[in-house]
Amino acid sequence: MYVCICNAIRETDLRAEARRCGDDAEAIYISLGRPPQCRQCLEDATEILNEERTAKKLPVCALN
């Protein structure tokens, strides 16, 4: 799913970047070479980044 229509940035792109670095949405867009344009997506992008970073901190259950 595209989060940013202006820059064709997908949710999977944002989740991968969230796991790689601690930058905010705008900084990530810039690092991808696609700076924000209309900026309407930044709130949703921030939510996705926070969600992914929170999930990363949760303990992983061991499977036997």
- Would you tell me which residues interact with ligand FES (CB under 6 A)? 4-7, 36-41
We find the least distance from the C-beta atom of residue 45 to ligand FES, in angstroms, to be: 8
The token pair at 52 is 């992914």
We find the least distance from the C-beta atom of residue 39 to ligand FES, in angstroms, to be: 5
Q: Which is nearer to ligand FES, 30 or 56 (CB)?
A: 30
We find the least distance from the C-beta atom of residue 3 to ligand FES, in angstroms, to be: 7
The token pair at 56 is 């990363």
Q: Which is nearer to ligand FES, 8 or 56 (CB)?
A: 8
The contacts of residue 3 (CB under 8 Å, 6+ apart) are 9, 10, 11, 14, 41, 44, 45, 48
Which amino acid, 47? E
